[in-house]
Amino acid sequence: MNKYHDKTFPNESSEYREARNRLLEAEINLRRQTEEVADLRRNLPLGGVLKEDYVFDELDLEGKIKKTKLSELFSGEKNTLIIYSFMYGPNEKSPCVMCNSIIDGLNGMIFHANQRTNFVMTAKAPINKINDWGKSRDWKNVRILSSFNNTYNTDYFGEDEKGFQLPMLNVFQKTAKGITHFYGTELLYTSAIEGQNSRHVDSIWPLWNLFDLIPEGRGTDWYPRHNY
């Protein structure tokens, strides 16, 4: 018998339903905890004032390089800005396959997100190099920037002291004190549980959430590729 709702699937056993109810209870608790975490995040006090108004490289509609300040990334009345640090360094032939998978997933829906917030991705590689990769992936919706000529990556933890690129996500907001840092995915820098990786940006990454629904799960030896 289902104690949570009146639905049962054809030919399911009582053993299945009992196990499914235990899982459903855990899912209900997870839903509650997810909202509790989101509430804690929403109610963070003001973070630090933006270190500087970073100037990024971007391509205009004619394909020419233009300079864009971080403050100019806030469009209209939207007071929040999400910046994803895409792992693609100046000397790398191709970007991180994981970051690539994330942007593949976001590109098709980001125009929905941009109704309420601003989203951009930035990488350390020169803008033409990043843009060429974006064209090869048909990324027509995500706004692409290069931090090649500024210190944004190192200041906001998208790059370590050795120049290794890291998949950090930061959120900034406009406030009475100016542009302030609101949130960063610091879970990236905590010790990961074995077999789980950091999972700091999984909430924006459709791939792994989809795999969590199948019997095989995420697996421990499969990773996305640029091409199959």
Residues 33 and 144 in one domain: no
SS (H, E, C) the chain: CCCCCCCCCCCCCHHHHHHHHHHHHHHHHHHHHHHHHHHHHHCCCCCCECCCCCEEEEECCCCCEEEEEHHHHCCCCCCEEEEEECCCCCCCCCCCHHHHHHHHHHHCCHHHHCCCCEEEEEECCCHHHHHHHHHHHCCCCCEEEECCCCCHHHHCCCECCCCCECCCEEEEEEECCEEEEEEECHHHHCCCCCCCCCCCCHHHCHHHHHHCCCCCCCCCCCCCCCCC
Residue-level pLDDT at 166: 96
Residue 151 within any structural domain of the chain? yes
Does residue 214 fall inside a structural domain? no
- Amino acid letter at 176? A
Question: Is residue 217 one of the residues assigned to a domain?
Answer: no
Q: Is the pLDDT of residue 123 over 90?
A: yes
Q: Which residue has the higher pLDDT, 202 or 93?
A: 93
Is 67 found in the same domain as 39?
no
Q: Is residue 143 part of a domain?
A: yes
User: Is residue 192 scored above 90 in pLDDT?
Assistant: no
Of the pLDDT bands very low, low, confident and very high (cuts 50, 70, 90), residue 220 is confident
The answer as to whether 149 is a domain residue is yes
The Cβ of residue 222 has, within 10 Å, a number of other Cβ atoms equal to 9
Q: pLDDT of 127-151, one tens digit each?
A: 999 999 999 999 999 999 999 999 9
83/179 same-domain check? yes
- Domain identity same for 113 and 33: no
> pLDDT confidence of 223, banded at 50, 70, 90?
confident
Q: Residue 5 is part of which domain span?
A: 1-43
pTM surpassing 0.95? no
Q: Is residue 35 located within the same domain as residue 139?
A: no
Q: Is the pLDDT of residue 117 over 80?
A: yes
Q: Average per-residue pLDDT in the chain?
A: 93
The answer to whether residue 195 is domain-embedded is no
- Identify the sign of the CA torsion 219, 191, 28, 41: negative
- Same domain, yes or no: 19 and 110: no
Q: How many domains does the chain have?
A: 2
Residue 138 included in any domain: yes
**For residue 1, what pLDDT band results from cuts at 50, 70 and 90?**
low
What's the confidence (pLDDT) of residue 222? 85
Are 110 and 169 members of one domain? yes
Q: How far is CA 63 from CA 66, 73, 116, 128, in A?
A: 9, 19, 27, 9
What is the percentage of the chain residues whose pLDDT exceeds 70?
Answer: 99
Q: CA–CA separation, 23 vs 87, rounded Å?
A: 36
Give me the mean pLDDT over the 115-126 stretch. Answer: 97
Domain final residue, candidates 166, 186, 206: 186
Name which residue leads in pLDDT, 3 or 55.
55
Same domain, 60 and 8: no
For 62-111, the pLDDT digits (tens) are 999 999 999 999 998 999 999 999 999 999 999 999 999 999 999 999 99
Please give the Cα distance from 58 to 128 (Å, whole number): 9
Residue 111 lies in a domain: yes
pLDDT at 193: 77
92 and 150, same domain (yes or no) = yes
Q: Are residues 109 and 38 in the same domain?
A: no
| 168 and 90 within one domain | yes
**Is residue 8 domain-shared with residue 66, that is, in the same domain?**
no
Q: What gap in Å lies between CA 52 and CA 153, rounded to an integer?
A: 12
* CATH number of 125's domain: 3.40.30.10
